[in-house]
């Protein structure tokens, strides 16, 4: 029943094969299949040096220990995972036997690979619930919760929803569901349940650690860490939907410089191209890309261009790409995945040859002009509708592999750019999966609404993304949908959002502002909507004066932020993280969901409600805290109330920190 093969413990019983092996420090990878051979895909995981675990086989029971983590397997094959203190971290919830009388009861197993008739399996793993547990991570969900215990989530990629199936527990473990299949996770009081709808294997990774920082360091060691970020990415990014012409975009950049305002990146958003799937500037509106890029670089500004993975059926490369199998397929019906100014099919980035093909077009039409930062939009991708059961790619049906798409999309550009000698790759993407961070992607929170309710949701969204291994994260400052620059209510919102944005890893403005506009009448099918002004001087003088100071605040903080980015590169630490990351022994820190640490020295308490001019702030114990705005010093371990008029965001410095937050 049990045997040892190299450093791996194997149990074989009936059709089931169970493998447990060390995978990184204090960590184990567990795989179960009913196939004739164990599937060999590593998915999010990087290969690890072989280590020597302690393996014990005692009759019909066995255990394997790798540092602080031990997996016990009993005579029925049930799994229990414990740390080096003997504390149970996870135990499968088997409801098939009465432990006292050994009688059949509910017939609900702790794990199962349920056959799909004529196909593969539906995989389910069930662990005993723990009411005292708090769970974080799981990517990005537009929910108001930081602690996700009690929640249930779809394991699927959608616009503004980023599925990264990694959970960090206050019990001292991190857990990765290493499976890109469509599914679900439920974190209920009585049971934690992971489901993959179509797969051939149960595959998960678990680590034990004494604090969140240790857990994140081990998790990112096996899934990858970002490159050291390029200096330009730390400054201010200007964007809107959309600059229609080359001259309009250059005019905005010139105005920033005329006003003496910092600007690092400006964006040419979608439909600057001739047609979807041709990945080139429309020469009618963008006649001199090389000259444009040169002028921007002379101003110290990088140009980012939007890339869509959509290919119009009328476009130049559609026939060739379809012939070569470089486009996603449909299982039934017409091969159209989106209708947006045409009939479009998505590039199949799960195909390595399609990855190379698209990069070569981008290299010829953008990169050669000096453009070195790309906006990988539609990265989920955004099927219309999201009929995941109707899509098939190079790696298989979407229900089985679809969540890996943004990972492969980012990999295509990372591989292409590094092959050209760029080491500090930076690209913006709307979606990610476990391990995406190693390809140098910034994730933003998608097409969200312009209101305070949505702003409040961005705080837990950013914090949980950091705890999912993605340290580079941002939002559309002001929200994407709506917002009238002449509306006093929106002006208040955008000031508060800018204050939050200064203390996000990436400081970026974007949005679809009112009033909607139209392109030239002679544009034909490219007569596409644009929007009202969305530059920092667009919201009235009061807002402008506040925002202007925030731009310079960010500039003063760039050396500090760069050091935090270095820790993200070297250890995987999120730049923006919950209080408990730095103060795990302060129990109150695990309950605070609307403030956070920005690096190890700055505590940020953003104003998240309309009309609010005061707020309460919890200051972690073990140090003193200086209110940057008032100069007052407070002992840690208490709640304080501070003033927060429109021009103030409550910010505190830890004892010993001396940072130029105020000018």
Catalytic residue annotation: 377, 380, 447
Q: How far apart are CA 446 and CA 393, in angstroms?
A: 24
Torsion over CA of 385, 387, 392 and 395, rounded to 10 degrees? 110
CA-wise closest residue to 659 among 547, 563, 551:
563
Sign of CA dihedral 398, 221, 466, 480: negative
- If we measure between CA atoms, which residue out of 406, 30, 395, 468 comes closest to residue 224? 468
Report the C-alpha gap between 314 and 312 in whole angstroms: 5
Rg (CA), the chain: 26
Give the sign of the dihedral formed by CA 75, CA 76, CA 81, CA 82.
negative
Secondary-structure percent of the chain, ordered helix, strand, coil, rounded to 5: 25, 30, 45
Q: Do β-strands 576-577 and 507-508 pair in parallel, antiparallel, or remain unpaired?
A: unpaired
Q: Closest Cα to residue 129, out of 153, 159, 93, 158?
A: 93
Q: DSSP E strands: which ranges in 74-151?
A: 79-83, 88-91, 95-97, 104-108, 111-115, 121-128, 135-137
DSSP string for 398-450: HHHHGGGHHHHHHHHHHHHHHHTT-SS--EEES---TTGGGGTEEEE--S-BS
Cα dihedral sign, 567-572-578-579: negative
Residue 419 — φ and ψ, nearest 5°?
A: -65, -20
CA distances from 380 to 240, 250, 269, 313 (A): 21, 31, 18, 20
Q: Are strands 338-339 and 427-429 parallel, antiparallel or unpaired?
A: unpaired
Q: Name residues whose C-beta falls within 8 Å of residue 453's C-beta, 6 or more positions apart in sequence.
A: none
Angle at 340 between CA 336 and CA 346, to 5 degrees: 40
* 3-class state of residue 278 by DSSP: coil
Q: Are 198 and 182 in contact (CB under 8 A)?
A: yes
Q: What is d(CA 461, CA 468) in angstroms, rounded to the nearest whole number?
A: 11
Contact 196, 123 (CB under 8 A): yes
| Cα angle value 406/296/298 (rounded, 5°) | 130
Report whether 265 contacts 240 (CB < 8 A).
Answer: no
For residue 304, which of 447, 483, 510 has the smallest C-alpha distance?
Answer: 510
Helix (H) or strand (E) holding 396: strand 396-397
CA–CA dist 80, 314 (Å, integer): 56
First to last CA, the chain: 69
522: helix, strand or coil: helix
Question: Facing residues of 136 across strands?
Answer: 168
- Enter the tokens of residue 338: 């989106």
For residue 227, with 0-12 CB atoms within 10 Å meaning exposed, 13-18 middle and 19 or more buried, which class applies?
Answer: buried
């Amino acid at each position: 029943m049990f045997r040892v093969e190299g450093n791996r413990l194997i149990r074989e019983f009936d059709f089931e094969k169970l493998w447990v092996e060390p995978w990184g420090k204090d960590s184990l990878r567990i795989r179960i299949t009913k196939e004739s051979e164990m599937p060999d895909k590593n998915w999010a995981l990087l290969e690890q040096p072989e280590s020597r675990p302690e393996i014990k086989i005692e009759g019909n029971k066995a255990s394997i220990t790798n540092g602080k983590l031990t997996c016990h397997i009993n005579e029925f094959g049930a799994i229990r995972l414990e740390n080096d203190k003997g504390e149970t971290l996870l135990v499968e919830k088997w409801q098939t036997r009465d432990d006292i009388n050994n009688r059949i009861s509910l017939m609900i197993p702790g794990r199962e690979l349920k056959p799909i008739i004529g196909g593969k399996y539906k995989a389910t793993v069930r662990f005993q619930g723990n009411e005292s547990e708090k769970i974080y991570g799981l990517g990005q969900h537009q929910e108001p919760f930081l602690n996700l215990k009690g929640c249930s989530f779809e394991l699927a990629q959608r616009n503004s929803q980023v599925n990264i199936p990694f959970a960090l527990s206050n019990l001292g473990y991190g857990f990765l569901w290493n499976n890109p299949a469509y599914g679900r996770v439920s974190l209920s009081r009585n049971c934690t349940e992971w489901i993959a709808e179509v797969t051939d294997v149960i595959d998960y990774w678990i680590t034990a650690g004494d604090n969140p920082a240790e857990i994140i360091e081990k998790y990112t060691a096996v899934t990858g860490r970002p490159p050291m970020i390029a200096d330009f990415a730390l400054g201010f990014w200007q964007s809107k939907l959309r600059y229609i012409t080359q001259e309009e975009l250059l005019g905005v950049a010139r105005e920033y410089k005329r006003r003496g305002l910092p600007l690092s990146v400006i964006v040419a958003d979608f439909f600057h191209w001739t047609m979807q799937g041709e990945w080139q500037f429309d020469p009618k509106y963008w006649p001199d890309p090389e000259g444009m890029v040169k002028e921007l670089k002379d101003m110290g500004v990088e140009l980012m261009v939007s890339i869509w993975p959509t290919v119009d059926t009328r476009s130049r490369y559609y026939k060739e790409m379809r012939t070569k199998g470089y486009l996603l397929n449909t299982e039934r019906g017409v091969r159209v995945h989106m209708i947006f100014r045409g009939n479009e099919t998505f590039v199949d980035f799960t195909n390595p040859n399609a990855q190379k093909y698209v990069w070569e077009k981008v290299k010829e039409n953008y990169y050669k002009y000096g453009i070195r930062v790309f906006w990988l939009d539609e990265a989920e991708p955004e099927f219309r509708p999201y009929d995941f059961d109707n899509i098939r790619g190079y790696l298989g049906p979407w229900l089985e592999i679809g969540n890996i798409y943004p990972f492969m999309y980012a990999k295509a550009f990372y591989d292409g750019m590094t092959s050209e000698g760029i080491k500090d790759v930076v690209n913006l993407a709307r979606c990610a999966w476990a391990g995406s961070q190693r390809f140098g992607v910034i994730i933003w929170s998608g097409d969200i609404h312009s209101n305070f309710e949505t702003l409040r949701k961005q705080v837990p969204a950013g914090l949980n993304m950091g705890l999912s291994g993605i340290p580079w994260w941002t939002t559309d400052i002001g929200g994407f949908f709506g917002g009238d620059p002449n509306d006093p209510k929106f002006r208040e919102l955008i000031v508060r959002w800018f204050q939050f944005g200064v203390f996000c890893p990436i400081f970026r403005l974007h949005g679809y502002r009112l009033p909607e506009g139209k392109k030239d009448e002679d544009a034909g099918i490219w007569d596409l909507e644009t929007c009202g002004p969305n530059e920092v001087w667009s919201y009235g003088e009061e807002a402008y004066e506040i925002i202007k100071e925030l731009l310079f605040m960010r500039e003063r903080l760039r050396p500090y932020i760069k050091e935090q980015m270095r820790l993200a590169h070297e250890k995987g630490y999120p730049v923006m993280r919950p209080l408990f990351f730095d103060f795990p022994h302060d129990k109150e820190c695990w309950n605070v969901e609307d403030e956070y640490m920005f690096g190890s020295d700055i505590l940020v308490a953003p104003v998240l409600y309309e009309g609010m001019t005061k707020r309460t702030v919890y200051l972690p114990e073990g140090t003193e805290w200086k209110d940057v705005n008032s100069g007052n010093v407070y002992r840690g371990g208490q709640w304080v109330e501070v003033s927060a008029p429109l021009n103030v965001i409550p910010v505190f410095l830890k004892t010993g920190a001396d940072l130029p937050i105020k000018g």
